[in-house]
């Protein structure tokens, strides 16, 4: 069939319609393309197709700096111009608010601010993750493909921190050399780099068991001169694998990044935003929304290693910070101590079960992609907080949760600001300021 891509959805595919009006999600096309496509699945309400030939390329198409765009999973929108990407992310947020949150177009126009972004569309990632595959006794490392079983060998990634552009080739070469003579039993490899602190960490994820620690550390040091080499020991089946231990092989044992006014140490298993400069926009929006004062008590739920906790503690009298993931809790406590702060209660546990109480002036919540549980919304609504900052990484669950807050009648959204933390992808962060209804 011949299709015209009308817009980009929340995903790698473009969206088109057949002559009969049926929605088709098209892989391999960008907005404005006219393509020949073949069906890959045909459901009752929508179909999926793959572009086999671009008849008329879109004027929004660009030539990306990477030959693996469309094959590698890291930059599904890499062939789309930046302005078009930004517009599509705004429109996807607006669509979710209308379809799922049941906001009217007038309400959306009043609430949603223009998308915020930083200048770096490439070279912004402070972290890459390499997949590992053993073939005929030889170890292969590379980027994850769109096909999850595919490992793509690369010497560099244009998304990765430009000051460490040679690190990928050096690390893959060193580990491939080691893996051809020893069974490293690698599951994956993480590389983190900071242009601000010059820190470079290599994290080797393996099951528990024997490992040539000293030899691996020595070869990696010769290859890439990292500031830290760690081994993350895991246990359990793939679907329920858990971290048992973070083992120091060489150097500092964690990665250091400077964000805003703070210098943070992050262990390899802990989450940290991959775009440091854009994450500073999140902090700015959260602080602007809450306007914390020196007498305020703050709650920080799903706080991770302290990205929002530390700036809140600088401005408030007390912060109760809750995080469920063990490695992040340890990082949080270490970052609080390093910052010289004595007004933070770092609480390890689930945000609902360990909810700090209803005494709060301001509250920030940064949940995982699944959004907030209904119980969490009830607990937040039951606090004395005057303002809430909701940081979301998924427009659909955000829209659902904002509708729940509105139904509860306690808090209402007053400003919604998308932030482009992930150029060349469809992902987008959003900061919402909720105030008392």
Spell out the SS3 assignment of 280-349. Answer: HHHHHHHHHHHCCCCCCEEEEECCCCCCCHHHHHHHCCEEEEEECCHHHHHHHHHHHHHCCCCCEEEEEC
Boundary of a domain, candidates 19, 46, 61: 61
Identify the sign of the CA torsion 15, 18, 23, 27: negative
- Give the pLDDT confidence score for residue 137 in this predicted structure: 74
> What is the three-class DSSP state of 366?
coil
Q: Are 144 and 150 in contact (CB under 8 A)?
A: yes
* 296 burial via Cβ count (<10 Å: 0-12, 13-18, 19+): buried
User: What phi and psi values does residue 84 have, to the nearest 5 degrees?
Assistant: -65, -40
In-domain check, residue 117: no
In-domain check, residue 137: yes
d(C-alpha 208, C-alpha 62), whole Å: 45
Q: Are residues 224 and 287 in the same domain?
A: no
d(C-alpha 165, C-alpha 142), whole Å: 14
Residue 302 labeled ligand binder:
yes
In-domain check, residue 403: yes
Strand 242-251 versus strand 46-56 pairing type: unpaired
Residue 323 labeled ligand binder:
yes
Q: Are residues 171 and 280 in the same domain?
A: no
* 282 burial via Cβ count (<10 Å: 0-12, 13-18, 19+): buried
Q: Are residues 228 and 286 in the same domain?
A: no
What is the count of structural domains for the chain?
3
- Give the pLDDT confidence score for residue 26 in this predicted structure: 96
pLDDT tens sequence across 155-171: 999 999 999 999 999 99
- For residue 6, the enclosing domain spans 1-61
Residue 393 annotated as catalytic:
yes
Q: Are residues 280 and 251 in the same domain?
A: no
Q: Are residues 175 and 246 in the same domain?
A: yes
pTM over 0.85: yes
In-domain check, residue 98: no
The single residue listed with the structure tokens 């609480």 is 347
Kindly give the parts of the chain with pLDDT less than 70. Answer: 239
- Give the pLDDT confidence score for residue 437 in this predicted structure: 87
- Give the pLDDT confidence score for residue 191 in this predicted structure: 98
- Give the pLDDT confidence score for residue 11 in this predicted structure: 92
Beta bridge partners of 17: 23
In-domain check, residue 172: yes
pLDDT tens sequence across 371-392: 999 999 999 999 999 999 999 9
Q: Which CATH number fits the domain that encloses residue 359?
A: 3.40.50.150
In-domain check, residue 270: no
DSSP 356: -
Boundary of a domain, candidates 196, 229, 258: 258
In-domain check, residue 41: yes
User: Which two structure tokens, joined as six digits, stand for 204?
Assistant: 């080797």
d(C-alpha 60, C-alpha 33), whole Å: 9
Q: Are residues 246 and 325 in the same domain?
A: no
Residue 155 labeled ligand binder:
no
Q: Are residues 226 and 279 in the same domain?
A: no
Q: Are 246 and 267 in contact (CB under 8 A)?
A: yes
Residue 150 labeled ligand binder:
no
Q: Are residues 215 and 283 in the same domain?
A: no
Q: Please tell me which residue in 66, 157, 393, 428 is annotated as part of the active site.
A: 393
Q: Are residues 350 and 412 in the same domain?
A: yes
Q: Which CATH number fits the domain that encloses residue 37?
A: 2.40.50.140
The single residue listed with the structure tokens 């244009």 is 158
The single residue listed with the structure tokens 């109760």 is 320
């Amino acid at each position: 069939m011949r299709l015209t891509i009308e817009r980009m959805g929340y995903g790698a595919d473009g969206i088109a319609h057949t002559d009969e009006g049926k929605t088709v999600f098209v892989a391999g096309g960008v907005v404005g393309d006219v393509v020949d496509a073949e069906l890959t699945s045909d459901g009752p309400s929508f179909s999926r197709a793959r572009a086999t030939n671009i008849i008329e390329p879109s004027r929004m198409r660009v030539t990306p700096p990477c030959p693996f765009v469309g094959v590698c999973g890291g930059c599904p929108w890499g062939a789309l111009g930046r302005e078009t990407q930004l517009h599509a992310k705004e429109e996807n947020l607006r669509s979710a608010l209308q379809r799922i949150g049941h906001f009217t177009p007038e309400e959306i126009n009043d609430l949603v601010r223009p998308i915020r972004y930083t200048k770096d569309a490439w070279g912004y990632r402070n972290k890459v993750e390499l997949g590992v595959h053993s073939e005929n006794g030889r170890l292969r490392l590379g980027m994850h493909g769109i096909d999850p079983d595919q490992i793509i060998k690369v010497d560099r990634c244009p998304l990765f921190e430009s000051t460490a552009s040679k690190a990928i080739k050096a690390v893959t070469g060193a580990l491939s050399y080691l893996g051809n003579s020893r069974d490293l039993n690698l599951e994956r490899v993480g590389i983190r780099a900071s242009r601000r602190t010059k820190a470079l960490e290599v994290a080797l994820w393996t099951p528990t068991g024997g490992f040539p620690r000293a030899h691996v550390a020595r070869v990696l040091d010769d290859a890439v001169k990292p500031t830290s080499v760690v081994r993350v020991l895991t246990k359990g089946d793939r679907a329920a694998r858990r971290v048992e231990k973070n083992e120091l092989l060489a150097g500092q044992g964690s990665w250091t990044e400077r964000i805003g006014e703070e210098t943070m140490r992050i262990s390899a298993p802990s989450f940290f935003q991959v775009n440091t400069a854009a994450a500073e926009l999140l902090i700015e929006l959260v602080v602007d929304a809450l306007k914390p004062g020196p007498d305020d008590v703050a709650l920080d739920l799903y706080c991770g290693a302290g990205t929002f906790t530390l700036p809140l503690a600088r401005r408030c009298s007390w912060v109760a910070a809750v995080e469920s993931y063990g490695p992040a809790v340890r990082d949080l406590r270490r970052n609080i101590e390093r910052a010289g702060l004595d007004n933070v209660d770092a609480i390890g546990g689930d945000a609902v079960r360990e909810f700090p109480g209803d005494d709060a002036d301001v509250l920030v919540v940064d949940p995982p992609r699944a959004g907030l549980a209904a119980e969490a919304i009830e607990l937040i609504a039951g606090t004395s907080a005057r303002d809430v900052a909701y940081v979301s990484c998924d427009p659909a669950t955000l829209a659902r949760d904002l509708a729940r807050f509105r139904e509860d009648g306690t808090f209402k959204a007053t400003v919604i600001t998308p932030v482009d933390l992930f150029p060349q992808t469809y992902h987008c962060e959003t900061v919402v300021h909720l105030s008392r209804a």
